Amino acid sequence: MGASHWTAVAALALACWGAAGGLGRCFRDGPTVPGKHWETKAPEKAGFSGARLAEFSERAGGSGCVVHGGRIIHAWGDPAARNDAASSTKPMYAHLLFKAIESGRLGSLDERAATWLPALGELNAELGHKDRQITLRHLLGQTSGYGLAEKPGEAFAYNDFGTGLLSWILFCGIYGLAAEEYDGWLNGAALGGAIGFEDWLTAPHQRSRPRRFRVSVRDQARFVLLYLRGGRWGHRQVLREDLVAEQLAFHLPAELPRTSGREAERVETIKSFGGGADLKNHLGCLGYYWWFNRVTPDGGRLLPDAPPGTFMGSGYGGRFAMIAIPERDLVVVWQDIHRGEDWTPLSEVGRFRVNEVIRELLQAQIRATR
């Protein structure tokens, strides 16, 4: 699909959200963001019960924070500790890819991955060298067929080998970074420096290949708040509004089939993001690494007790999560909660556990606030 299509999608998304009083309202009427350090607010001033939030976090364990109106109203564990937050950080990769479009480093998501990694063109001769057709849009939407039998665009696969390929192209190809430059760049104008990361996001690497981010809870909360604010940070537009809207409008069609799981050749030097090539289904609720609270094929919403506008990044079935709830001007981030429990896959198990956690948090809100 061309650029004009996505411009129209972005405009429509903003109009629809604004008309619904959800995200569009938060873009305009909820401007509060933290400065050098987070401001705090007593839970009761935000309409929440401090006692209920404390009971919740004691049961949950791990670490996390709850942000209302751009201020932290509750935190637990060590919100400043940098941890491997698993796939919950994947929307940050999408952000950095769209920043490449904004800066002109990347023409569009429809550019082919083989431009940066020609070895893709030599794979799978018996399958017609299908990997030559993989675009960045395929990788970001997890329809690339990379390492699998399907051609690009034919099927969905929650594919951590594909994410590993995308991260390599992003860091080493598009931005041309050496391993020692990763962290400084991440904490610069493209991301951390723009929204004031306090705890220095890091990208560990293996043989110069970028690995999963290590990030603090409170810095993840800044990132989610950026998207709740429509890409604005105070008076600055950190990412163009149409590019933010495109990310928050796109989702896979519910009828898109899941991969058969039959494996094909991969580039040996490109490592997985951490998991396999066929980890879960999309339920028509997954976009560019963001999960949306849409209606699933079973007729219910992904998160039945959460407001419809809710969107999130999820890792390990939701035991690591960063969540925006526009209808409440609320951000919730947690890492490693309910330790020892297996919530995977999100599509079959974790979504219901995440829903329980969100329900418990929303029940701690004892009165509405503006």
Please, which pLDDT band fits residue 210 given cuts at 50, 70 and 90?
confident
Indicate whether 2 pLDDT > 80: no
Q: Is residue 138 part of a domain?
A: yes
CA distance 281 to 291: 12
Q: Can you give the residue range of the structural domain that contains 87?
A: 3-363
Q: Is residue 368 part of a domain?
A: no
Specify the pLDDT at position 7. Answer: 36
Specify the pLDDT at position 79. Answer: 98
Please, which pLDDT band fits residue 23 given cuts at 50, 70 and 90?
very low
CA distance 123 to 47: 57
**Which residues, at least 6 apart from 49, have a Cβ–Cβ distance to it below 8 Å?**
43, 364, 365, 366
Other residues' Cβ atoms within 10 Å of the Cβ of residue 223: 24
Q: Is residue 369 part of a domain?
A: no
Q: Count of domains in the chain?
A: 1
CB 75 within 8 A of CB 64: yes
Q: Is residue 114 part of a domain?
A: yes
Indicate whether 12 pLDDT > 60: no
Report the candidate in 147, 142, 348, 129 with the shortest Cα–Cα distance to residue 261: 147
What would the pLDDT profile of 108-167 be if each residue is shown by its tens digit? 999 999 999 999 999 999 999 999 999 999 999 999 999 999 999 999 999 999 999 999
CB 280 within 8 A of CB 347: yes
Tokens of 325: 């709830």
Tokens of 277: 């090539």
Note the pTM of the prediction, 2 decimals: 0.91
Calculate mean pLDDT across residues 96-115. Answer: 98
What would the pLDDT profile of 286-321 be if each residue is shown by its tens digit? 999 999 999 999 999 999 999 999 999 999 999 999
Q: Is residue 195 part of a domain?
A: yes
CA distance 131 to 65: 42
Q: Is residue 370 part of a domain?
A: no
CATH number, domain of 197, equals 3.40.710.10
Calculate mean pLDDT across residues 238-267. Answer: 97
Q: Is residue 79 part of a domain?
A: yes
Q: Is residue 202 part of a domain?
A: yes
Q: Which helix (H) or strand (E) holds 201?
A: none
Q: In this structure, which amino acid lies at residue 148?
A: L
